[in-house]
Amino acid sequence: MQYEPFSLDLTTPLSTSRGEIERREGFLIRVERDDVVGLGEATPLPGWTESIEECEAALTDWSEARQVEPAEMGETPAARHGIELAQVDADARAAGEPLATFLADGSPADSVPVNATVGDGSVESTAGATREAVESGYRAVKVKVGARDSDVDAARLRAAREAAGDGVELRADANGVWDVPTAERLLDVAADLDFAYVEQPLAADDLRGHAELRGRGVGIALDESVVSVGPDRVLTADAADILVCKPMALGGPRRTLDVARRAAARGVDVVVTTTIDAVVARVGAVHVAAALPGISACGLATGSVLSADLAPDPAPVEEGSIRVPTGPGLAGDAFAALRTKR
């Protein structure tokens, strides 16, 4: 196994729970098995995964000393994701199958619908960005809320619905900042406007609070909770209608599929998203989403946030969806240049 660092600037700074970031740093990973090179990517996002230093330490241990096995890398999910992605890419290539086919129980989807994301902004800019997304073909739009007064957010949700029209799936994401009265009020607004779900209305550790918010006519999706508390505790607490699953924060493609299967067994849906990754991890997540039966729109339209990438994107967003690459592994020969050490 080899790994190689990279750094990619963002088009605009991204605000995270740990402050603003201007670039994404990570590692491209190569695993060789019987002359087949598998590619993976580990791009840690502090607050969601380990730090870049912890990620590199785990990759070093694994590549040189083999002191840890991937199965034990639970504390460094980004590193574990990178290694597991490279392994399944190599295995799928050896089998001559696209990764989604290799991972799926049945036949995978040919394409994955994705949502546009409308960031915080005025009522007018929320309407404008929603309209623009729908005009470019998106059938699902997620509106970021929670940064403004709840009256303004309520007006923004109304403006988004008005701009989107009736046939478009709308979602909102509060990133855990509301208290219970605010959440109840905005959930009722979202339900009236036929939003599909509201993501993370309350703090990540408040599973009971989220469980009590279900059943108000709009779905409860949990994202931060899945990472910080863990998917199984979220499921056991009946805290969510939908789990937001980031393969990079859950520790790899197979782990994500396992979580999705456990969720489905309890009647809970899954949406696959990224941690703002480079193209190798994003394409990996597209295959994971395609391997899940009946997947709804996913948060995989994140490539445009990067001002440069490791390689041209073989799975771009077109009309609000991503066609799953059909070559062996991640994308046939699309990443040929990345497979040889530079």
**77: part of which helix (H) or strand (E)?**
helix 77-95
Give min distance, CB of 46 to Mg ion, in A: 16
Measure the CA–CA gap between 170 and 195, rounded to whole angstroms.
Answer: 5
Question: Which residue, 59 or 271, is less far from Mg ion as judged by CB?
Answer: 271
Instruction: Give me the sheet containing 2-16, strands edge to edge.
Output: 2-16, 19-33, 36-42
- Helices 150-164 and 180-192 pack at an angle, to 10 degrees, of 20
Instruction: Provide the minimum distance between the beta carbon of 283 and Mg ion in the complex, in angstroms, as a whole number.
Output: 21
Whose Cβ is closer to Mg ion: residue 91's or residue 199's?
A: 199
- Give me the phi and psi of 190, to 5 degrees please: -65, -40
Residue 84 or 224: the one with the smaller Cβ distance to Mg ion is 224
**What span, in angstroms and rounded, lies between the C-alpha atoms of 200 and 233?**
15
CA dist 41 and 28 (Å) reads 5
Least distance from Mg ion to the Cβ atom of residue 200, Å: 6
* Closest-approach residue to Mg ion (CB): 223
Q: What is the dihedral of CA 332, 333, 335, 341, to 10 degrees?
A: 120
Q: What's the CA gap between 215 and 205, in Å, rounded?
A: 20
**Shortest reach from residue 223's CB to Mg ion, in Å:** 4
CB of 275 to Mg ion, least distance (A): 11
* Residues contributing to the site for Mg ion (CB under 5 A): 173, 199, 223
Minimum CB distance to Mg ion smaller for 41 or for 223: 223
Q: Which is nearer to Mg ion, 199 or 269 (CB)?
A: 199
